[in-house]
Amino acid sequence: MASCDRRSTFGRRDFAVLTLLVRLGLRAGEVASLRLDDIDWRMGELVVSGKGPKRERLPLPCDVGEAIAAWLERGRPRCAAREVFTRVRAPHCGLSSAGISAIVASACKRAGLERVYAHRLRHTAATEMLRAGAGLEEIGQVLRHESLLTTAIYAKVDRIALRALARPWPGADGGTSR
């Protein structure tokens, strides 16, 4: 995210896209399909069009709202497109899922990191929520999973942190308690 020059139009757009992906764990297609009418600034919510016909309301954290607002106010070209994220250069149409993933890959390249795409940031969001103390049920709600098993796959467990919390297995004292 630090590789985005937020003084530039491209940088403001890319930073807003990355912020949505990292903070809310959105899919590339969900970011691409986000429309201007999907943001309720007064309520601090946004409507996400998920897989299939699902449309769900999510809270709009302050930092995410600020990043989107900076793009809309000082970056997004004036155009008829209703998508939040558009091409900077003409034609000013909405970005595709591939375009969202390309933003992630470009940010990695600028930062000198291994190339990853948008979906990896969904895993990152889940892992960061887990590290911050959120439970799998809470993380599953944010990621809009139907199964906790799916959430567990996304939230990469920090084994070192778990070792500190884990209790010894009964009878695992080296065999001395017979």
pLDDT digits (tens, 9 = 90+) for 87-116: 999 999 999 999 999 999 999 999 999 998
- Confirm whether 167 is domain-assigned: no
126, 138 contact by CB (below 8 A): no
Would you say residue 60 lies in a domain?
A: yes
Tell me what pLDDT residue 105 has. 95
Q: Is residue 29 part of a domain?
A: yes
User: What is the rounded CA–CA span in Å between residue 151 and residue 140?
Assistant: 5
Domain span at residue 76 reads 9-117
Say how many domains are in the chain. Answer: 1
pTM of the predicted model, to two decimals? Answer: 0.80
175 domain residue, yes or no: no
Edge-to-edge, what's the strand order for the sheet holding 39-40?
A: 39-40, 45-49, 55-59
Reported as a pLDDT band with limits 50, 70 and 90, residue 171 is low
Q: Is the pLDDT of residue 54 over 90?
A: no
CATH code, 82: 1.10.443.10
Q: Looking at the domain assignment, is residue 132 inside a domain? A: no
User: Where in the sequence numbering do the catalytic residues fall?
Assistant: 27, 51, 119, 122, 145, 154
Name the band, by pLDDT with cuts 50, 70 and 90, for residue 84.
Answer: very high
Range 75-87 average pLDDT: 96
Nearest to 35 by CA among 79, 76, 81, 69: 81
CB count in 10 Å sphere of residue 48? 20
- Segment holding 63, helix H or strand E: helix 62-74
Whether 66 is in a domain gets the answer: yes
Mean pLDDT of 125-134: 85
CA 30 to chain centroid: 10
- Is the residue at 13 inside a domain? yes
What would the pLDDT profile of 11-30 be if each residue is shown by its tens digit?
999 999 999 999 998 999 99
